[in-house]
Amino acid sequence: MMENAWIIPLFPLLSFLFLLLFGKRLKETSAYIGMLFTLLSFIYSLVVLFDRFSNPTYKAEATWLTIGDVQLTAGFEINQLNALMLVIVSLVSFLVHTYSKGYMHGDDRFHVFYAYLGLFTFAMLGLVISPNLLQTYIFWELVGAGSFLLIGFYFYKEEAKAAAKKAFIMTRIGDVGLLIGMILLFWQVGSFEYDEIFQAVEAGSVSAGMVTLTAILIFVGAVGKSGQFPLHTWLPDAMEGPTPVSALIHAATMVAAGVYLVAALFPLFTASETALMVVAIIGAVTAIFAASIGLVQKDIKRVLAYSTVSQLGYMMLALGSAGYVAGVFHLMTHAFFKALLFLAAGSVIHAVHTQNIEEMGGLWKKLRITGPLFLIGTLAISGVPLFSGFFSKDEILIAAWAHGNTVLFWLAVIAAFFTAFYMFRLFFMVFSGNARSEMKNVHESPSVMTFPMIVLGILAVVAGYVNTPWFGTFLGDWLVDGNEALGHGHIEGPAWIMIVATVVSLLGIFLAWMMYGKRSISRDWLSSRMPIVYGILYNKYYIDEFYQLSVVNATKFFSYLFHYIEKFLVEGIVKGITGVVQGLGRIGSKIQSGQIQGYGAMAFVGLALLLVIFAITGGYLK
């Protein structure tokens, strides 16, 4: 079945094309078209995954372009990593398609939304099966285009337009690094093929300095796509898109593309300890940086957005600590519980018509399905034992400790405490106590919205067990099978790490309960005692303001400077030369009267002048 895996991305592409042509007539029936095609992709992805369990990696390519002696190929590859990613992406996409039927009901551009979902899903599925960097880059940019369309879907809102442009530009900054890294690798290796790049690096054909440089440049692309510091500011603003978009982009697909890229090129990164350290440091800093901002945010979707940035930082920390399995494992579990949290948040917004958690409360009794499912997602992301996040987060902490990144390990532990606190702060403010504003006609979402959440809720609980010895083997053993460069399938660590991680998570939950559940500690404790710290966190460390004052204003200054240079200097010189030429032309046009007698007179005068000149200078000429 792997031989025909190239069909998987074509299903959502057909959905996109069909809805683009006929969606306006179909109206909300478009949902069934989108759901059907993504379901086909998911079913085929499952078949391919099971086929990969018992068969080796399959790769098929054909010559695309020939330039001199260089041949560029296009094709697909099915290995352990992208077989798993195919299932994750297609499953979450199918569930988001299903959920959107209820959430987007009544929207005037319903069919356009589903067409965009199909385009985005096609791009992401095409990205994960690409066998070379050039093909990856093509789909990488197409993913960016799809996210631009989805984030800016409500184009009539200024905030949505600004968010879409911001996401597009910020990720393009990272893409420049990726493009330069690709070009340098091609210059050194003579190929974009992953296999040939890894072989050249292993053989020492690429110098150590060039390996480090290219790995870091490629990581810059991953920083942009996965919202890592300092290119993270687009991701929270992307919440201006419809909530199902947030679940799709910020759970399993676009933001995971950066993590996937580092994992796919892991043998390149492991060849440079410096590159690994850069990845680990950026990941750890991003994890605690974003988690601290999430402590005080009041928009339910922005809390989850900063949570996503933080969890992606965890994944990068794992990969930078040579924990390939830990990073991929957390990517998988996070896809399920974060998609669940976003869809549950959408269900809350659908019920109360506000995103401000200060205006919510008391929804546990009113949203009988959404409430428990949101709690499951919150327990999973907080790393509570027996939930999926507990297993994958422990793998990351063990990887960081085993690699000797002690400082980064403790930063990750503190970030785990922050995560448990702000997530249960969110849960208690939304679902416990009494409503803090007037809410009318609050009711549970329809089954078409709750069904995807139930599926994700089950996965948020059980997904972690695939990397335990309970089934005879670890997921990691399969992920690294046949490739020594990927490291060990499972790293054994001291038991105290699991105990510390559990205690820290429970302490965060307990503190959130004391402040927002039981309310025995003032909610305004931080803002009243340390208003400066609170202001910094609430205003996201003023990073956006810094970019506005520096990059944006500098760009505007030089833009206006060059505009006025062009307008008054360059155009002035051009206009001056043009005026002189036109003036000479006008004088010449007066001389050219078109009368024969005039030309004869001029010829006579000219001849007379020549004779005079000859007479005067005749002596000298002799």
Q: Which of 148-162, 183-197, 232-246, 462-476 has the lowest mean pLDDT?
A: 462-476
Q: Three-state DSSP class for 259?
A: helix
What are the pLDDT digits (tens) for 489-533?
A: 778 889 999 999 999 999 999 999 999 988 888 878 777 788 898
> Binning pLDDT at 50, 70 and 90, where does residue 309 land?
very high
Quote the CA–CA distance of 83 and 77 in Å, as a whole number: 9
Number of H helices, E strands in the chain: 27, 2
Q: What is the mean pLDDT of the chain?
A: 90
How much is the pLDDT for 332?
Answer: 94
How much is the pLDDT for 615?
Answer: 82
> Binning pLDDT at 50, 70 and 90, where does residue 248 land?
confident
How much is the pLDDT for 610?
Answer: 85
Q: Which of 226-240, 360-374, 451-465, 517-531 has the lowest mean pLDDT?
A: 517-531
Q: What is the CA radius of gyration of the chain?
A: 31
Q: Residue 444 gets which letter from DSSP?
A: P
Q: Three-state DSSP class for 112?
A: helix
- The interaxial angle of helices 254-264 and 300-320, nearest 10 deg, is 0
Give the amino acid at 176. Answer: V
Mean pLDDT of all residues in 178-194: 93
How much is the pLDDT for 281?
Answer: 96
> Binning pLDDT at 50, 70 and 90, where does residue 247 land?
confident
Mean pLDDT of all residues in 84-104: 94
Cα dist from 318 to 70, 216, 227, 412, whole Å: 36, 16, 16, 10
Residues 221 and 137: beta-carbon distance below 8 Å: no
Within its chain, how far is the Cα of 169 from the centroid?
A: 12
How much is the pLDDT for 472?
Answer: 66
What are the pLDDT digits (tens) for 529-568?
A: 888 988 999 999 999 899 989 888 888 888 988 888 888 8
Mean pLDDT of all residues in 30-51: 95
H or E stretch covering 295: none
Give yes or no for residue 457 having a pLDDT over 90.
Answer: yes
